[in-house]
Amino acid sequence: MKLSTIAHTFSDALDPRTCAIAAALIAIASCSGDKVVAAPKLCVPGQQLECPCPGGAKGVQACRDDGSGFDLCVCVGGSAGTGGAGARAGTGGAGGGGTAGAGGVDTDAAIPGQDAASADDAPEAGGSRDGNGHDAEHDTSDATIADASEDFPSADAACVGEPIRGEKKQSDLYMMIDNSGSMNEVDMGQTITRWQNLGQAIPVFVNDPANVDMMVGLDFFPEGGNNPSCNVMDYTMANVPIDLLPGPNGMQANAIIAAVNGRTRSGGTPTTPALTGAIEAARTWQIAHPDRSLSVLFITDGEPTDCNPNTVATASAAARAGFMGTPPIRTYVLGIGPSTGNLDSIAAAGGTTMAYMVTNGRAAALAAALASIRKRTLSCDYSLPRLEGGTLDPSKINVDVRVGPAPAPYIPVFNAGTAAGCTDVMKNPKGEGWYYDTPPPGTPTKITLCPNSCGPLQITDGSDLNVLLGCVTKSLPPPS
């Protein structure tokens, strides 16, 4: 399988110049041409250093005649090696053009104080690397590679491949809307009720051209009017099933508008069962539509009432279970009016950091909040590519992000394991990273950025995300 870089862009078009950059490479190829800048001397020609060999033996690496780096590790009894020092064979490292030595090379064993590869390690002009990181025209497949020593740094960072356009996951929303009696209240400074303001904001949202081809559905709570149902199952059946906006002749948009306009407001606020039911419905739909990415949008104007247990803490637990489940379901929260309580904790537990609050309930502010939520749902999920004639190894995938356009640098984002890893304050105090929808040994179909890694990219135009295939996945390092 040929090593590839899946390049995702947060703008509608890729930057016309794309450079594959490996941190371990000292050779720099110009994006506008094929010229390779010569590497500075990294060692004294003829200089020799010890290197590890199989069985704990020691070999010797000699500096090349041009001082551009060290040749392969010469081990007693070994066979010819391939690649330049500092490139992991079999992981697509930049070691294909190195000089063959008489023994195997510990390709993880970059010499301390020396960059892992040099200009001489690049394939010759017109050549290409195969899936093992070798120069395809100079492959010595029978090479014996010395075992890695833990005392030397890994050179997986040298993995680099050709950039291709990746597929961003389409984001969708399942709305659970509070139609309790308090939605009939008129907030200070307003002349119409909270529900009427929401009724004006919803048509703006569903008819927004930016939401074309977004899939949206909705349900309401409480069920049962003045005797609210506390049965989770009553909140798992959509009032308007999830479908594409706006739909043929605006059918889906009109169905949502009609449902909101026709809903009677009464009863209390059974937050926990309603949110739990919405998450269950969303997960069932998500499993049936793995090519999409569905989140719950919970819209409410009050603190939890009725039912037992039904508190902010139990609602937060439901949101957390949704976010940490398989597949993960994120919960966005929109609070309307001045008496919503601590909705931030529900949003944070659901993987979306904090709630959106419209304390005065006016329609324009609600429409703006809905538009912001739509934007926040974008770009956190990325489909894994489907390779022709091969399968992906989820243990060899890494992620780099660039906040803003070039020349901003790419920064590695480490694997957080699961959605729970995004909020583990002991192991991940910054809340950064990425995870699979279905972690290995399952078969993942997408990767998702943790909210703290995704947020800066969402609000910064020209940001990019690269998915590197073929290099051993880098997990979160221990907190410093």
Query: What is each CA distance from 443 to 76, 391, 392, 406, 448, in whole angstroms?
Result: 43, 11, 9, 34, 14
Q: What is the DSSP string of 209-265?
A: GGGTT-EEEEEEE-TTTTS----GGGGSS-SEEEEESS-GGGHHHHHHHHHHHTPPP
Query: Residue 229: what pLDDT?
Result: 96
Query: Residue 114: what pLDDT?
Result: 31
How many other β-carbons are positioned within 10 Å of the β-carbon of residue 104?
26
Distance CA 480, CA 478 (A): 6
Burial 408-433 (b: 16+ CB within 10 A, else e): eebeebbbbbbbbbbbeeeebeebbb
Domain 170-378 has CATH 3.40.30.10: no
Angle between helices 194-206 and 251-261 (to 10 degrees): 180
Query: Residue 137: what pLDDT?
Result: 33
Residue 135 forms beta bridges with which residues? Answer: 129
CB 427 within 8 A of CB 476: yes
Confidence (pTM): 0.56
Widest pairwise Cα distance in the chain: 89
Structural element, H or E, at residue 58: strand 58-62
SS3 label, residue 418: coil
Which tokens in the block code for residue 224?
């049962």
Could you tell me the residue ranges of all domains in the chain?
A: 24-160, 170-378, 382-469
Structural element, H or E, at residue 318: helix 312-324
Distance CA 324, CA 301 (A): 26
SS3 label, residue 143: coil
Q: How many residues does the chain have?
A: 480
Distance CA 396, CA 341 (A): 44
The CA-based dihedral angle spanning residues 324, 325, 327, 328, taken in that order and rounded to the nearest 10 degrees: -30
Q: Which residue, among 315, 231, 336, 221, has the nearest Cα to 268 in the 3D structure?
A: 221
Query: Residue 268: what pLDDT?
Result: 94
> Locate tokens 């307003």: which residue?
190
Q: 408-421, pLDDT tens digit by residue?
A: 888 889 999 988 89
Q: 393-402, pLDDT tens digit by residue?
A: 888 888 888 8
Structural element, H or E, at residue 299: strand 292-300
Cis peptide before 246 (omega within 30 of 0): yes
Query: Residue 244: what pLDDT?
Result: 95
Query: Residue 69: what pLDDT?
Result: 62
Q: Which residue, among 151, 137, 156, has the nearest Cα to 23 in the 3D structure?
A: 156
Query: Residue 122: what pLDDT?
Result: 33
Distance CA 229, CA 222 (A): 7
User: Position 227: which residue type?
Assistant: N
Query: Residue 111: what pLDDT?
Result: 27
User: Position 374: which residue type?
Assistant: R
Distance CA 473, CA 396 (A): 5
CB 93 within 8 A of CB 127: no
CB 452 within 8 A of CB 353: yes
Query: Residue 279: what pLDDT?
Result: 98
Query: Residue 91: what pLDDT?
Result: 32
Q: What is the mean pLDDT of each run of 10 residues along the chain (480 residues)?
A: 40 33 30 36 60 60 63 48 32 34 31 31 33 32 30 41 48 95 92 94 94 94 94 97 95 97 95 98 95 93 91 96 92 90 91 88 88 77 72 84 87 91 91 90 86 82 79 85
